[in-house]
Amino acid sequence: MATYKLTINGQAKEVTVDPSTPLLWVLREELSMTGTKYGCGVSACGACTVHVDGVATRSCMLPISLLGNRPVVTIEAMASDPVGRVVQDAWVEKDVVQCGYCQSGQIMSAVALLKSTGKPTETNIEESMGGNICRCATYVRIREAINLASQRLS
Amino acid sequence: MPTATKKQKRQVNRRAFLKVTATAAGGLLVSLYLERPAIAQEGAGNEQRRPPAKAYPPDAFINIKPDGKVHITVNRLEFGQGVQTSLPMILADELDADWSQVVPHLAPAADVYKDPVFGIQMVGGSGSIAHSYQQYRELGAKTRAMLVAAAAALLNVPADQCRTQASRVYGPGGKSATYAELAAAAALQPVPAEVKLKNASEFRLIGKKVKRLDSRAKCDGSLKFGLDLQQPGMKVAVVAHPPVFAARVKDFDDKEARKLAGVRDVFEIQLAKGSGVAVVADKFWAAKQARDLLKINWDSTGLDHADSDQLRENFKQLAKTEGKVAKTVGDVKSIANTPPANLIVAEYEFPYLPHAPMEPLNTTIRFDGDSAEAWAGSQFQTFDQMAIAQVLGLKPEKVTFHTEMAGGGFGRRAVPDSHVQREAATIAKRFRGTPIKLIWTREDDIRGGYYRPMHAHRVEVAVGADGFPSAWRHVIVGQSIMAGTPFAMMMKDGIDPTTVEGVADTNYNLPNFQVSSHNPTINVPVLWWRSVGNTHTAYVMETLVEELATRAKTDPIAYRRKLLKPEAKKLRAALDLLDEKSAVWRRRLPAGHAVGFALHESFGTAVACAVDVSITNQRPKIHRATIAVDCGVAVNPLTVESQFQAGVGFGLSQLMAKGEI
């Protein structure tokens, strides 16, 4: 067990956990932030995507001991993020979700994409979103929503 | 999922009436009181089995609160299909409720929420809307009638001069009252025995593109799925399952596992088949790490180690022999004398497929000695509640069973043996008073069985001079999904309808036709997988019809029109619509592109599909798909569109090697 000081959504947090504990489980079980989802545990599905130092990152395979002092941003902060809010609104407007379990991760990946590339091409979208699996396969509407958000942000 | 046959549907006693209660706070609570819940799958001869009337929770379906909110309870699991929006739409339309004030809830396990046709509480067989459409309309309409009666008395106007809109009753002369104001008085009105439902032209919600009610919460992380559940003092459990299905623990060493901080207990537990080792810890990560440290010796004596290559070969050989005959029309003997030039022999293989819902399987249970509370994203609340009760030695009604939002399912949460709930209950029994959340990791899910069964098809088609099949012999090999479950009673003459559905009930006119099936017993648990038998049978039928049309040098749409039975009106309508809607792009197909068609009816819905395909980088690429659907009333066209748009991707996931889509 070790104690870690974290910055989650701009707030200072402190947790005492086994150093191997992935960031995902620190968020979900130590901080009760369940918006970030467990899907596979092996960085294969993207449901656990958060931003670490602004970069879309799979939290399920990032041991807390390797996080360092990098700030973490999760889905819970997206409603108050200028890009995040636009992306969420586009998602709602396009009625994207079905079961919705992957959508936290989809939105975190989409926000990271739109923050780095204001007007993403189809290839940009494929490259950034390709690691986020939606078992319901809502991909068509995800793409529509990203394009809508991109228009609104430009 | 099974569908009730027409005969079974006729046996269902749909007589139901409303039970209305005023609440202390002045609200109106309405529940549907089922006089006799039907047990559809039990078939004929059970008409006299009338369970005694039970007291249902008074707020079972509608709760009009003093703040104007209209709470509507949905008798189904929501796991993506959108029923948590569409069933309230149906009810709110007849009720003339203010849609912006509607709050949906998922129903716990209770008799009142049983599927009116199947007689158990479940999602499956495409029954959610089909079976509850009338039920939810009547609930809305009867409640509206009582609100109108209350308004007429209050405003001193004739009821037939009142109209309703957006949770308000308007009388003549500008008088009006809100539903919230009327709720208490309405609850005292007699429940109408009969009520006139709206004409389709009067619908305000049904048939309109209405956005899902759960979108925002699914986009901001606030929606709680079963896996997100937190309870005071809760512990997390994982189970080491046997590497060979149904194997038993011989012995195990948990010394290292127990050293980990937060690990509370490690013990062998009985599984639905075989045994495993459960680890209970304060948190998931400790439980999983501890499980990884277990050293377990397994006993798989006498159990088959299923091997896909071997099974494939066995299935292929078996498909060359006649199985149990499920359907015979005319005589297929002529196939033996058909010259090879006029004969198509096609063999198909379909692998085992996991459902892999995004949210890993989980169930939380707290056992309190003489009662229990359970939380699960379940498609089979009735069975799961019973299974938990059985493990805990309780009556089912002593288990309060909450239906949790689920991250997908596709059949995986409709398991006749309730194995996940049994595991959770077995562990919870040992931790009296402590909520136990059992989590199946993704590895457990993928390795854990309950797959869509592996199948082989062998089809011989004699092609007549006119290019149409003169004889069609079809053999299907695959494990039975129903055998050994309560659904086995739906099997007739040893035929599992889920093995042959989509072929034996084809709507093509095949004058000489035989379908037979083999259901080998294999040591791999199998389960229905979204649309069940149709996932493989439609593929076989439609690729063969495409081949026949190509051979006959006939337009595939025209070919199908000729081949369809005259009575296949839904399919014909879907085909006509597809023809119309895809005509423009089909005429302007770029070089290197081809069009593929498919037409199929299952669970009462007819679908016609045309796809624009090319081979790009040695992989098939779908550029466009046009899908025509006849699903009856499209309650929410936005959801129907979404299901088919995404269904294309889901369907492809079963066909592409290594799951690449």
Separation between Cα atoms, residue B221 and residue B239, nearest integer Å: 28
Q: How confident is the model at residue B283 (pLDDT cuts 50, 70, 90)?
A: very high
Residue among B284, B357, B407 whose CB faces A29 most closely: B284
| Element containing residue B365 per DSSP (H, E) | strand B362-367
In chain A, the residue whose alpha carbon lies closest to the alpha carbon of B439 is A38
Q: How would residue B384 be classed by pLDDT, with cut points 50, 70 and 90?
A: very high
- Please tell me which of the candidates B214, B221, B357 has its beta carbon nearest to residue A104: B221
Task: Indicate the average pLDDT of chain B.
Answer: 91
CB contact under 8 A, A101 and B359: yes
CA distance A69 to chain B (A): 22
What distance in Å separates the CA atoms of residue B22 and residue B155, rounded to the nearest whole number? 20
**What is the pLDDT at residue B117?**
86
Q: B643 contacts in A (CB within 8 Å)?
A: 98
Q: Is A133 at the interface with chain B, CB within 8 A?
A: yes
> Would you place residue B520 in the very low, low, confident or very high pLDDT band (cuts 50, 70, 90)?
very high
The answer to whether A36 contacts B221, with C-beta atoms less than 8 Å apart, is yes
Chain B residues with CB-CB distance to A95 below 8 A: 211-212, 215, 638-639, 642
Q: Does A109 touch chain B (CB under 8 A)?
A: no
> Would you tell me which residues 15-74 of chain A have a C-beta closer than 8 angstroms to some C-beta of chain B?
17-18, 20-22, 25, 28-30, 32-42, 45, 47, 74
Q: What is the pLDDT of residue B20?
A: 59
Percentage with pLDDT > 70 across chain B:
90
The terminus-to-terminus CA distance of chain A in angstroms comes to 47
Q: Measured between CA atoms, how close is B358 to chain A, in angstroms?
A: 6
pTM over 0.80: yes
User: Which tokens in the block code for residue B271?
Assistant: 């599984």
What's the pLDDT score for residue B40? 28
- pLDDT tens digits, B410-420: 999 999 999 99
Residue of B nearest to A79 (CA): B220
pLDDT digits (tens, 9 = 90+) for B123-169: 999 999 999 999 999 999 999 999 999 999 999 999 999 999 999 99
Residue B39 predicted with pLDDT over 70:
no
* Residue among B358, B409, B648 whose CB faces A47 most closely: B358
pLDDT of residue A136 exceeding 80: yes
* Residue B653 banded pLDDT, cuts 50, 70, 90: confident
Query: ipTM score of the complex?
Result: 0.98
- What burial class does residue A115 get, using C-beta atoms within 10 Å of its C-beta: 0-12 exposed, 13-18 middle, 19+ buried? middle
pLDDT value at residue B32: 45
Position B616 scores a pLDDT of: 86
Closest CA to B140 of B64, B26, B36: B64
What distance in Å separates residue B661's CA from the closest CA in chain A? 10
Pairwise pLDDT comparison (B311 vs B13), residue with the higher score: B311
- Tell me the shortest Cα–Cα distance from A99 to chain B, in angstroms: 3
- Cβ of A102 under 8 Å from any chain B Cβ? yes
- Under an 8 A CB cutoff, do A42 and B442 touch? yes
Residues 6+ apart with CB under 8 A from B572: B561, B564
Chain B residue with Cα closest to A87: B219
Report pLDDT for B15. Answer: 37
Q: Which of A58, A76, A100, A39 is nearest to B362 (CA)?
A: A39
- How far apart CA B298 and CA B288 sit, in angstroms, is 19
Question: In the predicted model, is pLDDT for residue B224 greater than 60?
Answer: yes
Q: What is the pLDDT of residue B31?
A: 54
Residue count of chain B, please give it.
Answer: 661
Asked if the Cβ–Cβ distance from A18 to B360 is below 8 Å, we say: no
pLDDT of B26 reads: 55
pLDDT at B17 over 80: no
Would you say residue B302 has pLDDT above 50?
yes
- What average pLDDT does this structure show over B48-57? 32
- How far is Cα of residue A128 from the mean position of the Cα atoms in its chain? 12
Which of B498, B428, B397, B493 shows the shortest CA–CA distance to B2? B498
Residue B457 · residue B316 · CB < 8 Å: no
- Which residue does chain A place closest to B85, by CA atoms? A98
Question: Quick check: helix, strand or coil at residue B253?
Answer: strand
CA–CA separation, B47 and B121 (whole Å): 19
